[in-house]
Amino acid sequence: MTNSQSIIQNLNSAVAIIGAGAWGKALATLARTNAHDVRLFSRRGCQTLVETIHGANIILSAVSMKGVRDVVSQLKSLSISPQTIFVTATKGLDPETTCTPSQIWQENFPNNPVVVLCGPNLSKEITQELPAATVVASNIESAAQSVQLVFNSTRFRVYTNSDPLGVELGGTLKNVIAIAAGVCDGLQLGTNAKAALVTRGLTEMVRIGVHWGAKQETFYGLSGLGDLLATCNSALSRNYQVGYQLAEGKTLTQILSHLQETAEGVNTTEVLVQRAKQQNISMPITTGVYRLLKAEVTPRQALLDLMKRDIKPEYNY
């Protein structure tokens, strides 16, 4: 029996979750509700990383993008079975390499299955036990199915997907558009403008995602369009709040100093602009958000720059 055929776990899995922020805690609660043995690691906690992962069938990372390589480095020094499934629930891009979190995990653990967990999942709503859905994606179907069994419930529906890169990019790229959506609402530009912005934002996500190697249809699923709609329409979104408060006249430094957790869209915007320039990919909304974050333009000027662009067909068939 091959490694990929023997991965599906027993009904009760041992799950180690690294990262005790709101998202990590919400995922821990979901797994515990399904009667799994869950250990939650925090740098401020009393349990060591070695103790947390001991005997774990699944190791899930819910740390911010800037903490991914540090966690990977620590785990590489430990003895981990090739049967252990790594799950990444981080949304971001590495500023040095533009790699996604799953690419970093797979590069460092080439013999282990890696699963991406992503969807329209505002952690506060999940903590309130409101219904939600998500996607778990992997190149190894049985690994995705194992993770699906751990988290699926009557209030948290989990779908599998065979395009981990697309699922991951959907959840990552939408954060940039969410900043723009926050600006749109902060300026009180109305429903028409918001609809146009989100729709054209999705077009940008598809454009660079497909160029990256993802499947186009993935971006019209839960981790793409679904996550985009949730993040662009909720004040619970940290990225939306960044844009909204920029429109109110606050500086980026002021905004970030008061956020309780990381707004990954800020870093993602910079990495995305860098990659788009290298590949000569048109990303007008992303570029506008980048210039706004760098204080090169005001929110009103960023809007005017978008509206003044040369007219063109909606799609190049």
Using the 3D structure, point to which of 116, 134, 162 is the last residue of a domain: 162
Contact 88, 101 (CB under 8 A): yes
Asked if 10 and 64 sit in the same domain, the reply is: yes
Q: How far apart are CA 244 and CA 185, in angstroms?
A: 6
Asked if 104 and 210 sit in the same domain, the reply is: no
Q: Which of 139, 67, 65, 148 is nearest to 106 (CA)?
A: 139
Asked if 131 and 191 sit in the same domain, the reply is: no
Residue 315 lies in a domain: no
Q: Is 174 annotated in the active site?
A: yes
Task: Read off the CATH number of the domain in which 122 is found.
Answer: 3.40.50.720
Task: Read off the CATH number of the domain in which 174 is found.
Answer: 1.10.1040.10
Q: Give the pLDDT confidence score for residue 11 in this predicted structure.
A: 62
Using the 3D structure, point to which of 109, 134, 162 is the last residue of a domain: 162
Asked if 21 and 139 sit in the same domain, the reply is: yes
Tokens of 314: 């909606």
268: three-class secondary structure by DSSP? helix
Q: Give the pLDDT confidence score for residue 45 in this predicted structure.
A: 83
Residue 49 lies in a domain: yes
Q: Summarize the chain as % helix, strand, coil (round to 5).
A: 55, 10, 35
> Which residues lie below 8 Å from residue 20, measured CB to CB, with a gap of 6+?
40, 41, 42, 44, 45
Q: Give the pLDDT confidence score for residue 12 in this predicted structure.
A: 79
Asked if 179 and 105 sit in the same domain, the reply is: no
Catalytic residue among 25, 66, 91, 174: 174
What backbone phi and psi angles, to 5 degrees, belong to 157? Answer: -85, 130
Residue 17 lies in a domain: yes
Residue pLDDT tens, the chain, 317 long: 344 444 555 567 899 999 999 999 999 999 999 999 999 999 888 899 999 999 999 999 999 999 999 999 999 999 899 999 999 999 999 999 999 999 999 999 999 999 999 999 999 999 999 999 999 999 999 999 999 999 999 999 999 999 999 999 999 999 999 999 999 999 999 999 999 999 999 999 999 999 999 999 999 999 999 999 999 999 999 999 999 999 999 999 999 999 988 899 999 999 999 999 999 999 999 999 999 999 999 999 999 999 999 998 998 76
Q: What is the pTM of this model?
A: 0.92
Q: How far apart are CA 165 and CA 159, in angstroms?
A: 15
Residue 241 lies in a domain: yes
Alpha-carbon distances, residue 219 vs 89, 118, 203, 228, 230 (angstroms): 17, 12, 9, 9, 14
Asked if 206 and 152 sit in the same domain, the reply is: no
Residue 313 lies in a domain: no
Domain residues for the domain of 198 are 166-307
Residue 284 lies in a domain: yes
Asked if 174 and 99 sit in the same domain, the reply is: no
Residue 316 lies in a domain: no
Asked if 93 and 225 sit in the same domain, the reply is: no
In the chain, how many domains are there?
Answer: 2
Asked if 67 and 144 sit in the same domain, the reply is: yes
Q: Give the pLDDT confidence score for residue 3 in this predicted structure.
A: 47
Asked if 10 and 153 sit in the same domain, the reply is: yes
14-18 vs 37-41, strand pairing mode: parallel
Helices (H), 152-213: 164-186, 191-212
Asked if 156 and 186 sit in the same domain, the reply is: no
Q: How far apart are CA 105 and CA 119, in angstroms?
A: 19
Q: Which of 88, 104, 180 is nearest to 138 (CA)?
A: 88
Q: Give the pLDDT confidence score for residue 207 in this predicted structure.
A: 95
102: exposed, middle or buried (C-beta count within 10 Å: 0-12, 13-18, 19+)?
A: buried
> Which residues lie below 8 Å from residue 69, measured CB to CB, with a gap of 6+?
94, 104
Q: Give the pLDDT confidence score for residue 8 in this predicted structure.
A: 54
Asked if 31 and 69 sit in the same domain, the reply is: yes
Q: How far apart are CA 269 and CA 283, in angstroms?
A: 10
Using the 3D structure, point to which of 130, 162, 194 is the last residue of a domain: 162
> 37 pairs with which residues across the strands?
14
